């Protein structure tokens, strides 16, 4: 007997893994052959131009860089219509490919086969979305974006992609021809446009549930000084989850989808999905504005309101300025801006002895703008809400170029003066306006430039018009006084000035 003819030694029985359940195996086949990945490069390109690039023009803080793409829902706009269209293409497959009879002649309900096709398409779409977000966050990390990412908003986006996928797929099953895909894509686009329009118009109520409603999404200092508020994202996640369940269950309602019991289950799921969606809309309509975001009482956790503890980074020997480590890059500029302003009032009652970073107060109307600084406590401490300022030095918002350090200083001086004279959130009394103008002039901002400065930082209290004649005249007189004289007058009248009890005529 030669080696070639010798009987093979019986191989040891190979240890086989149990076969996966049929549904998972169906999903695996669908996953391998799903056409959804074909559309993902196009979506990624759109995402790059529409979601990522605009975000790079923001200051490198998570609440700011994610405001455009996640807060205003541009990522969902980029993904939604295309995912809906491709899902509809997949959903209409049996009709287009003439496989209805083949699939219907099998014992497995047609809805189950459809679920496998949808689950695979949705998995690709969500994976594409998460990949885009992952790459974006990696680029942010490389750029040194500070704070923590808004994971809740990422979850909202993933659920939105699922919902578009489910709605598109079901549209495809109900309209099984080649027109299903363009109709679903256009429908998705239309929905997002309507959502954006309603979102910009309505700052409260049910419209807050809409995915591109940015009112309620801008949460300055979230993930830095505060945790991200999960209230509105939870409601929106419910909203999209409900739509997903309802939409995909509708595909199980037709007689061809399966047996009576299965169709009753589909009907129950449709009702449950709609109820969840309705509940989410109801919850959103109870939302109210808090200091750092939208609060939905039924979903709110008081722990979210607590400031995050951190070890500040500080600079300065005499007058120390301390900020959150996330704002480290602005510390030197802030200290340099405050130094001459603080020096100009040194020794006066209420002059701050140090500056700390204060939390920004959320405002859905202006998205932060130029929130005022405050002076409080004994000894007086200056609280600087850096997170609320859109004029931080460097690249910011949609400005054509980076904001200059000079402009930043002037804005800080303006806000400092406003706080020092006790003008609070408004322009103040004529006397307070005159003293502010004089302080600014002494710091190097000519009277002629001051209205422009007021307008440029978008103060809610701003009034870019020239100062009224008597106020301008009084400011000119005060600024022209010798420093010691001006100092002495302020030392005497500062308390009354802050109380609003000094008439303009009383200024020297």
Partner 1 sequence: MNVELTELARRFGRNQAVAGVSLQAGPGVYGLLGPNGAGKTSLLRMMATVLPPSSGKMRLLGRDPGNHTQRREVRRRLGYLPQTLGYYPGFTVAEFVEYFALLKDMPPGQVPRAVATAVERVGLGDKGRAKLKTLSGGMLRRAGIAQAIVNRPDLLLLDEPTAGLDPEQRVTFRALLREIGEQATVVVSTHLVEDVGAACTEVALMDRGRVVFHGTPGELTARGEGSGAAGDAPLERGYSAVLAAARS
- Which stretches of the chain bind partner 1, using CB under 8 A? 18-22, 25-26, 29, 32-33, 35, 93-94, 97-108, 113, 259-260
DSSP summary character for residue 258? -
Nearer Cβ to partner 1, position 102 or 480?
102
Residue 14 three-state SS:
coil
Nearer Cβ to partner 1, position 42 or 102?
102
Nearer Cβ to partner 1, position 98 or 400?
98
Q: How far is the CB of 96 from partner 1 (least distance, A)?
A: 9
CA atoms of 202 and 49, how far apart (whole Å): 27
Nearer Cβ to partner 1, position 95 or 451?
95
Q: How far is the CB of 310 from partner 1 (least distance, A)?
A: 53
Q: How far is the CB of 101 from partner 1 (least distance, A)?
A: 5
Q: How far is the CB of 229 from partner 1 (least distance, A)?
A: 44
Q: CB neighbours of 412 closer than 8 A, spacing ≥ 6?
A: 334, 337, 338, 341, 373, 384
- The residues pairing with 376 across neighbouring beta strands, listed in sequence order, are 381
Burial 349-361 (b: 16+ CB within 10 A, else e): ebbbebbbbbbbb
DSSP codes joined into one string, 344-374:
HTTTSTT--SEEEEPPPPP-TTTTT-BPPPE
CB-based contact 222:308 (threshold 8 Å)? no
Q: How far is the CB of 170 from partner 1 (least distance, A)?
A: 19
Q: CB neighbours of 7 closer than 8 A, spacing ≥ 6?
A: none
Q: How far is the CB of 87 from partner 1 (least distance, A)?
A: 16
The HSE-up count of residue 260 (CA atoms within 13 Å, CB side) is 0
The H-or-E segment that residue 294 falls in is strand 293-295
Q: How far is the CB of 19 from partner 1 (least distance, A)?
A: 4
Nearer Cβ to partner 1, position 108 or 143?
108
* Class of residue 505 by CB neighbours under 10 A (exposed 0-12, middle 13-18, buried 19+): exposed
Q: How far is the CB of 109 from partner 1 (least distance, A)?
A: 9
Nearer Cβ to partner 1, position 97 or 306?
97
Q: How far is the CB of 105 from partner 1 (least distance, A)?
A: 4
CA atoms of 237 and 206, how far apart (whole Å): 15
Going from the C-alpha of 71 to that of each of 336, 397, 506, the distances in angstroms are 33, 14, 50
Tokens of 284: 């959103």
Q: How far is the CB of 112 from partner 1 (least distance, A)?
A: 8
CA atoms of 439 and 345, how far apart (whole Å): 9
Nearer Cβ to partner 1, position 99 or 404?
99
CA atoms of 143 and 141, how far apart (whole Å): 5
Q: Is the peptide bond before 166 cis (omega within 30 degrees of 0)?
A: no
Tokens of 299: 């979903």
Tokens of 488: 């002495």
Nearer Cβ to partner 1, position 93 or 486?
93
Nearer Cβ to partner 1, position 25 or 306?
25
Nearer Cβ to partner 1, position 103 or 336?
103
């Amino acid at each position: 007997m030669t080696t070639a003819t010798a009987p093979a030694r019986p191989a040891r029985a190979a240890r086989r893994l149990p076969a996966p359940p049929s549904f998972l195996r169906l999903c695996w086949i669908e996953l391998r052959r799903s056409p959804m990945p074909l559309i993902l490069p196009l979506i990624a390109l759109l995402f790059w131009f529409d979601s990522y690039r605009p975000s790079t023009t923001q200051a490198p803080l998570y609440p700011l860089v994610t405001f455009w793409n996640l807060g205003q829902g541009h990522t969902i706009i980029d993904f939604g219509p295309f995912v809906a269209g491709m899902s509809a293409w997949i959903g209409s497959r049996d009709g287009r490919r003439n496989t209805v009879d083949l699939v219907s002649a099998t014992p497995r309900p047609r809805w189950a086969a459809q679920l496998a096709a949808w689950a695979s398409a949705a998995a690709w779409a969500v994976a594409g979305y998460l990949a885009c977000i992952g790459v974006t966050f990696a680029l942010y990390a490389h750029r040194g974006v500070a704070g923590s990412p808004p994971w809740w908003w990422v979850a909202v986006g993933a659920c939105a992609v699922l919902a578009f996928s489910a709605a598109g797929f079901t549209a495809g099953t109900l309209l099984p021809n080649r027109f299903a895909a363009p109709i679903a894509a256009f429908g998705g686009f239309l929905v997002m446009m309507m959502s954006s329009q309603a979102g910009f118009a309505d700052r409260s109520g049910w419209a807050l549930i809409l995915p591109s409603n940015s009112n309620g999404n801008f949460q300055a200092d979230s993930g830095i000084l505060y945790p991200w508020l999960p209230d509105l994202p939870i409601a929106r996640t419910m909203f999209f989850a409900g739509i997903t369940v309802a939409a995909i269950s509708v595909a199980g309602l037709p007689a061809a989808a399966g047996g009576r019991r299965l169709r009753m289950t589909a009907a129950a799921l449709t009702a449950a999905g709609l109820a969840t969606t309705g509940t989410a809309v109801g919850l959103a309509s109870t939302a109210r504005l808090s200091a750092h975001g939208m609060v939905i009482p039924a979903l709110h956790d008081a722990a979210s309101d607590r400031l995050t503890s951190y070890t500040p980074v500080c600079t300065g020997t005499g007058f120390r300025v301390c900020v959150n480590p996330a704002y480290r890059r602005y510390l030197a500029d802030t200290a340099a801006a405050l130094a001459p302003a603080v020096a100009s009032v040194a020794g006066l009652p209420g002059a701050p002895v140090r500056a700390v970073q204060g939390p920004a107060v959320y405002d859905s109307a202006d998205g932060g703008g130029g929130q005022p600084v405050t002076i409080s406590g004994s000894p007086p401490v200056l609280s600087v809400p850096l997170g609320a300022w859109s004029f931080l030095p460097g690249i910011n918002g949609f400005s054509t170029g980076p904001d200059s350090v000079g402009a930043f200083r002037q804005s800080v001086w303006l806000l400092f003066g406003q706080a020092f004279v006790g003008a609070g959130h408004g322009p103040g009394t004529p006397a307070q306006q005159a003293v502010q103008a004089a302080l600014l002039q002494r710091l190097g901002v000519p009277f002629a430039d001051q209205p422009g400065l007021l307008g440029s930082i978008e103060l809610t209290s701003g009034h870019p018009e020239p100062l009224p004649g008597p106020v301008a005249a009084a400011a000119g007189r005060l600024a022209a006084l010798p420093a010691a004289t001006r100092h002495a007058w302020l030392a005497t009248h500062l308390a009354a000035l802050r109380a609003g009890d000094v008439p303009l005529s009383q200024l020297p």
